[in-house]
Amino acid sequence: MPETTKKPVIARSETTKQSSNKPGSPRSARDDNTAKLDTSIFFNVDVKNHELLKLAYESYLAEGRQVGAKTLRRGEVRGGGRKPWRQKGTGRARFGSSRNPIWRGGGVVFGPLGNENYTKKIAKNTKKVALRQALTLANQAGKITVADFKFDGKVKTAVKFLTTQKIADKRRILLIVDTKTPEILRSTNNLPNVEVLSAKYLTVYHILNADAIVITSKSLETITDWLKPTVIARSETTKQSSNKPGSPRFARDDSKEDK
């Protein structure tokens, strides 16, 4: 009998395995809906410390803080208009009102007035750097997945998609979409561990708190255009003005030549 020829088996090299598991590239979806990523923009940022992330995180919490505590000063407490006793002759300390702060039922000194401002302002560029750092840390932890999905308003469709991505058992899942459609909201409203967020409202708070992040291709383009570092090109007029005899740079060059 003629010998059967076996098909050659192509072994997957170690370099190929390592390149697909590098922290610099987000894990793509298991279906064909993948996107080409520019990882140099915000997935490979050098995070030297977490001070900026802490500042952006606390700023988000401070923006949503409600001021509900309010105390009454001595002039706001009801009553106390009559002097408790006469000024002299009783042997007791002199008091002009029973609503003074050292009496029980009196006003409060240095208490909250209800108009406190707890907000912490951050510059736009600083906030963008913090977002790039947060996405870098999330990518290094393997939390980011790029995939396109189409929900029809049924919960089982969303559950099937999360099961396919093997993230259905995660405690906090963040779905970043370009626009929130009624179908997406109906499919995810009854899932307690899923939160849908528009790409233009992405914050450090949501990224750091999520255990798994799914980004669509359109929202990825929005985030890329938003967080792309702005490079200010130096015009020719600025270059020429810096080389004029009256500029400090020109004078510094002359001093070097004199030496």
Q: What are the sequence ranges of the domains in the chain? A: 26-48+121-227, 66-117
Closest CA to 59 of 133, 120, 127, 131: 120
Alpha helices in 100-145 (DSSP H): 124-140
H or E element in which residue 112 lies: none
As a whole number of angstroms, the distance between CA 26 and CA 52 comes to: 23
Instruction: Give the mean model confidence (pLDDT) for residues 195-216.
Output: 95
As a whole number of angstroms, the distance between CA 28 and CA 104 comes to: 66
pTM for the predicted model, two decimal places: 0.68
Q: What is the residue-averaged pLDDT of the chain?
A: 81
Residue tagged 């009783």 (tokens): 90
Query: 5-47: per-residue pLDDT in tens?
Result: 444 444 444 444 444 445 455 555 444 444 445 555 567 788 8
Task: Give first-to-last CA distance, the chain, whole Å.
Answer: 95
More confident residue, 2 or 190: 190
Query: 63-94: per-residue pLDDT in tens?
Result: 998 888 999 999 999 999 999 999 999 999 99
> Is pLDDT at 203 greater than 90 in this prediction?
yes
Percent of all residues in the chain with a pLDDT value above 70, rounded to a whole number: 72
Query: 48-62: per-residue pLDDT in tens?
Result: 889 999 999 999 999
CATH domain 26-48+121-227 topology: Ribosomal Protein L4; Chain: A; (3.40.1370)
> Is pLDDT at 135 greater than 70 in this prediction?
yes
